[in-house]
Structure formats: structure tokens, C-alpha cells
């Protein structure tokens, strides 16, 4: 497995993997209308292309040859300023892997990249949100030094999801 930064030509593959990963993990939680609208907004090739071009974003891919195994998006701005403990806070925005490739160290490698990228940027805190019922992701983030700092929510269409805000101080 190799890590490399996303390029504009990766937008469609990233959108596809993001949508498939989201559906595999959470698709049964939403009405078809809410799910379709969310996927159209969050996991569309045009959306991803704008993120790749955005200087406030960093997107790293995990590749095996030409196969995309996973990706991590970092937003170098604070997503939840009301809960910020640091003075320069960034957000781990998405960490997705191929649904059948979990357990291969992809998430760990991308998380280590994200933490190093945040530190190189001068961030002193990394925030992320995790679905309240996603205990596997919560254990994963705990293993990487994140702790729950707040209860928040995330909207998927008209459905409100209870989420946890996790954070890790750097330095």
C-alpha cells in the first residue's frame, strides 16, 4: 500500500468510494430520498473536485497499484469552533476505506498521515465527528489518541443523527 495526494483526475473515484463506503455502513439508516440527497451533495465528483482544488483541504489516498483502497480528507479550518480547545484547530473530515478492505491498516496509515499533516500545518488540535452508534470507529479513534469532547449532531437530509465530537491535542 502506498499513500499519495489526491489529484483532480481522482475526483470520480473518490466520490464513488465515498458513496459506496457510506452506503455500506449507514445506508439502511435513511429514507431513500434523504440518502440520495446526501450522496448527491457530499459524494459527487464535482464536490470532490472542488475539495481537491481547495487550498484549505488536504486529501490523501491509500493505493495498491491502481486500486484505491481508502482516503482521508483534512480541512485545515476548525469545524466546531465552540468546542475548540486549541488555538489552531483542524478537522479530520472523512476517513473511508473500501468496505471489504478494513482491517488491513489502511485507516491507521491515513490517520498517522492526518496527524502529521496537522502538526506540519501548525495545528494544536484535530477534531472529528463520529456517529454515536459506530462503536468500531470510536474504538479506532481512541486507539489513536482521540477522546470524546462533546455531543453534536449531523443532518442527512431531514434526519438528525446524534454524533460525538472527538478531538486530539497535538504537541
Give me the pLDDT at residue 99, please. Answer: 87
Asked if residue 65 has pLDDT above 90, the reply is yes
Give me the pLDDT at residue 72, please. Answer: 98
- Residue ranges per structural domain of the chain: 2-169
109-132, pLDDT tens digit by residue?
999 999 999 999 999 999 999 999
Tell me how far apart the alpha carbons of residues 76 and 56 are, in angstroms, rounded to a whole number.
5
Tell me how far apart the alpha carbons of residues 18 and 97 are, in angstroms, rounded to a whole number.
8
Give me the pLDDT at residue 103, please. Answer: 81
23-64, pLDDT tens digit by residue?
998 989 899 999 999 999 999 999 999 999 999 999 999 999
Please name the CATH architecture into which domain 2-169 falls: 3-Layer(aba) Sandwich (3.40)
Amino acid at each position: 500500500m502506498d499513500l499519495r495526494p489526491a489529484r483532480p483526475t481522482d475526483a470520480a473515484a473518490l466520490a464513488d468510494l465515498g458513496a459506496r463506503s457510506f452506503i455500506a455502513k449507514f445506508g439502511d439508516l435513511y429514507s431513500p430520498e434523504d440518502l440520495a440527497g446526501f450522496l448527491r451533495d457530499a459524494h459527487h465528483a464535482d464536490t470532490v473536485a472542488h475539495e481537491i482544488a481547495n487550498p484549505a483541504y488536504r486529501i490523501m489516498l491509500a493505493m495498491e497499484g491502481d486500486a484505491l483502497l481508502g482516503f482521508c480528507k483534512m480541512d485545515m479550518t476548525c469545524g466546531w469552533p465552540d468546542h475548540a480547545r486549541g488555538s489552531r484547530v483542524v478537522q479530520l473530515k472523512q476517513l473511508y476505506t473500501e468496505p471489504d478492505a478494513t482491517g488491513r491498516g489502511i485507516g491507521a496509515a491515513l490517520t498517522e498521515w492526518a496527524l502529521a499533516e496537522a502538526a506540519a500545518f501548525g495545528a494544536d488540535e484535530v477534531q472529528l465527528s463520529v456517529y454515536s452508534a459506530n462503536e468500531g470507529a470510536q474504538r479506532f479513534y481512541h486507539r489513536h489518541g482521540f477522546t470524546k469532547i462533546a455531543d453534536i449532531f449531523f443532518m442527512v437530509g431531514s434526519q438528525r443523527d446524534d454524533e460525538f465530537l472527538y478531538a486530539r491535542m497535538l504537541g
